[in-house]
């Protein structure tokens, strides 16, 4: 009995080992094949590199989003090394706990040459302790890196200096996706002003825009995620987090007189049923479903949601092709105003312990600059021609083999897109072209947050609570749980919960930053 059991264990174990070993073996074979493919490609590109210098070693830590991050023998990885004449050692860390890994890496004292980081308190304190290079005076020497966007550059700065290269994202990404066919059914135009927007929402709710004879539609759908309210209140001229008064002092956005205007508008929307009743608890994962289902006529989110939602609608009902449109903002009391994103998604800092001399720093920056060229972006974003994509009749056609996609997908996490995206793309649909246009127009009307680059200690400790006081009061006011005096109380609570100190600190930091410039 006992012996038989032992045998069973043994068998189980050896099976396991087999699985793992076989898994590894087959992988090695695959990678061998890749190698030969890779060298072919290298030869065709080799001519770009005239230098006889030894490849320069660069270690990088960045995020990964795919279940199979590329490995060193990936042809795309090798092509990048060839192109930039470097030896890359890239550590891909799952995005979900990147911050923890960043902190641990800081603590372990073994920083890679280039490390991706958010503008987090631990990054800032590490900068203050001299962990990273001040890049302010170096970036201007590079063709691409010198063309950073001024707003975003300001956003990533710490006390007026730049310690990192940001990964560019559209600043004017927010937009309203709208059912164009509903507008047509009702004989309405795309809204241009807040009043027109209200009329459209009202008609979407009460005038049976889908013509099915049932009262089953609403103007817009909103979930627990507070973004749509923020976007809309910006139309009313409410400042982006901080406003500047006549004396040049900063005040929190909710003290702006326009804030109450906006809230009254929201309340009216809610009372008249133009927005879903359960917005305060709605699961954000189900948010866009209501638009795709044909229950809501608009969804206030990001520009690229328009094409995504249209694709999902067409999948179910091909007659809905072309039924979705979008706009960036409607005119309010202060003209067109748009709530921007921060304009970046994390940034690359260069370690002083791993990159010790100025000469080495130049090589690292040179690498980052090269990655922003068209060829650099193509290699990291699209992979290697002939393997990961083909050019058919002048059109970019990516491979749809999942294994090949994984082979290069996460390499796009190395890109800064400074100053712009230059890689190959598939031909755009009409609506995608419109999205690009809307995002571009938005950039002209963004409302900057003057305090974005400032790092407040009070906020670090109590920011979450402070924000929640204001956010919760807004929701409670909209659904009618509190009135004007309730809003006043919330503001007072905010002041007494550290808000006063926060305002003082921000103003002091702001004055210092102004003086530095």
Partner 1 sequence: MHKMHNTPLGRVFDVFNHIILLLMGLVTFIPFVYVIAASFATEAEIAARPFFIIPDTITTAAYEYIFSTNTFVRSMGVSVLVTVLGTLVSLALTLTMAYPLSRRNLLGRNVLLNLVVFTMIFNGGMIPTYMVVRSLGLLDSLWALILPVAINPFYLIIVKSFFQNLPEELEESARIDGCSDMGVFWKIVLPLSKPVIATFTLFYAVFYWNDFFNALLYISDSAKWPIQLLLQQLMMVANVDFGEMDTMLADPPEESLKMAVVVVATVPILLFYPFLQKHFAKGILLGSVKG
Partner 2 sequence: MGLLSLKSKKKIVNEEEGSNQVSKMKLLFRNRYLYLLLLPGLIYFLLFKYLPMWGVLMAFQDYSPFLGFWESKWVGFDHFINFFQNPDFFRLLRNTLILAFYDLIFFFPAPIIVALLLNEIRVQFFKRTIQTLVYVPHFMSWVIIASITYVFLTTSGGAVNAIVEYFTGETINFLSSPDWFRPMIIGQVIWKETGWGTVIFLAALAGVSTEQYEAAIMDGAGRFRRMWHVTLPALRGTIMILLILRLGNFLDQGFQQIYLMTNSLNREVADVFDTYVYFVGITQGAFSYSTAVGLFKAVVGIILIYGSDYLAKKMKQPGLF
Smallest distance from partner 2 to CB 459, Å: 8
In three-state secondary structure terms, 177 is strand
Instruction: Compute the C-alpha angle 168/173/179, nearest 5°.
Output: 155
Q: Given the rule CB under 8 A, which of 28-36, 179-187, 274-282, 400-408 is the region that contacts partner 2? A: 274-282
Q: 155 is in the binding site of which of partner 1, partner 2, none (Cβ under 5 to 8 A by kind)?
A: none
474, containing H or E segment: helix 457-478
280 binds partner 2 (CB under 8 A): yes
Residue 37: CB minimum distance to partner 1, A: 17
Q: Residue length, the chain?
A: 517
Q: Which does 312 bind (CB under 5 to 8 A by kind): partner 2, partner 1, none?
A: partner 1
Q: In the range 340-359, which residues lie near partner 1 by CB under 8 A?
A: 341, 345
Rg of the chain over all Cα atoms, to the nearest angstrom: 27
Asked if 243 contacts 250 with a C-beta cutoff of 8 angstroms, the reply is yes
Question: Any contact of residue 125 with partner 2 (CB under 8 A)?
Answer: yes
| Phi, psi of 187, deg, nearest 5 | 70, 35
Which CB, 55 or 498, lies closer to partner 2? 498
Which of 345, 347, 341, 344 shows the shortest CA–CA distance to 303?
A: 341
Prior bond to 36 cis, omega within 30?
A: no
**Binding track, positions 407-446, relative to partner 1; x by CB under 8 A:** -----xx---------------------------------
Stretch that binds partner 2, among 17-25, 116-124, 339-347, 441-449 (CB under 8 A): 116-124
Tell the smallest beta-carbon distance from residue 345 to partner 1 (Å): 5
Q: Is 173 in the site for partner 1 (CB under 8 A)?
A: yes
> Contact between 283 and partner 2 (CB under 8 A)?
yes
Binding partner selected for residue 56 from partner 1, partner 2, none, CB under the kind-specific 5 to 8 Å limit:
none
Compute the distance between CA of residue 331 and CA of residue 308 in angstroms, rounded to an integer: 26
Instruction: Record the tokens describing residue 145, joined without a space.
Output: 């890196």
Q: Choose the binding region for partner 2 from 200-208, 246-254, 361-369, 474-482 (rule: CB under 8 A).
A: 474-482
Q: How far apart are CA 344 and CA 357, in angstroms?
A: 28
> Strands 335-336, 218-220: parallel, antiparallel or unpaired by DSSP?
unpaired
Q: Are 201 and 297 in contact (CB under 8 A)?
A: yes
- Where does this chain bind partner 2 (CB under 8 A)? 99-100, 103-104, 106-107, 109, 120-122, 125-126, 129, 131, 224, 226, 276-278, 280-283, 285-286, 460-465, 468, 471-472, 474-476, 479, 481, 496-498
């Amino acid at each position: 009995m006992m012996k038989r059991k032992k045998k069973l264990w043994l068998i189980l174990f050896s099976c396991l080992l087999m699985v793992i070993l076989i898994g590894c073996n087959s992988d090695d074979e695959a990678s061998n094949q890749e190698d030969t493919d890779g060298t072919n490609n290298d030869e065709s590109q080799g001519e770009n590199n005239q230098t006889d210098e030894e490849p320069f070693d660069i270690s990088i830590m960045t995020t990964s989003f795919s279940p199979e991050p590329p490995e060193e023998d990936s042809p795309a990885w090798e092509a990048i090394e060839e192109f930039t004449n470097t030896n890359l050692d890239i550590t891909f860390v799952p995005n979900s706990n990147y911050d923890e890994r960043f902190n641990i890496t800081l603590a372990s004292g073994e920083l890679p040459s280039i490390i991706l980081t958010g503008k987090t308190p631990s990054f800032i304190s590490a900068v203050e302790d001299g962990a990273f290079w001040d890049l302010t005076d170096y970036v201007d020497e590079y063709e691409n890196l010198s063309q950073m966007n001024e707003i975003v550059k300001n956003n990533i700065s710490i006390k007026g200096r730049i310690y990192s290269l940001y990964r560019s994202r559209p600043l004017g990404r927010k937009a309203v996706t709208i059912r164009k066919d509903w507008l047509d059914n009702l004989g309405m135009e795309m809204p241009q002003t807040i009043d027109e927007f209200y009329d459209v929402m009202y008609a979407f709710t009460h005038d049976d825009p889908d013509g099915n004879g049932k009262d089953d539609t609403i103007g817009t759908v909103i979930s627990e995620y507070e973004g749509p309210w923020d976007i809309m209140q910006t139309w009313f001229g409410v400042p982006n987090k901080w406003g500047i008064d006549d004396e040049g002092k900063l005040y929190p956005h909710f003290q702006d007189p326009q804030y109450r205007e906006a809230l009254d508008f929201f309340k009216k929307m809610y009372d008249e049923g133009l927005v879903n009743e359960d917005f305060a608890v709605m699961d954000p994962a189900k948010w866009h479903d209501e638009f795709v289902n044909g229950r809501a006529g608009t969804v206030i989110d990001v520009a690229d949601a328009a094409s995504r939602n249209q694709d999902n609608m067409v999948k179910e009902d091909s007659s809905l092709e072309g039924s979705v449109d979008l706009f960036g903002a409607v005119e309010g009391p202060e003209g067109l105003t748009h709530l921007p994103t921060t304009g970046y998604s994390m940034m690359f800092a260069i370690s002083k312990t791993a990159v010790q001399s100025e000469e080495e720093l130049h090589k690292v920056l040179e690498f980052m600059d090269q990655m922003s060229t068209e060829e650099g972006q193509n290699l990291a974003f699209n992979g290697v021609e002939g393997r990961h994509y083909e050019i058919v009749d002048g059109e970019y056609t990516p491979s749809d083999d999942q294994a090949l996609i994984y082979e290069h997908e996460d390499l796009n996490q190395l890109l800064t897109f400074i100053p712009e995206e230059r890689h190959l793309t598939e031909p755009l649909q009409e609506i995608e072209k419109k999205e690009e246009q809307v995002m571009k127009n938005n950039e002209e009307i963004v409302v900057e947050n003057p305090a974005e680059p400032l790092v407040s200690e009070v906020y670090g400790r109590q920011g979450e609570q402070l924000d929640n006081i204001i956010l919760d009061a807004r929701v409670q006011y909209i659904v009618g749980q509190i009135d004007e005096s309730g809003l006043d109380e919330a503001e007072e609570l905010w002041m007494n919960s550290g808000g006063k100190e926060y305002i003082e600190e921000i103003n002091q930091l702001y004055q210092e930053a102004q003086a530095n410039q």
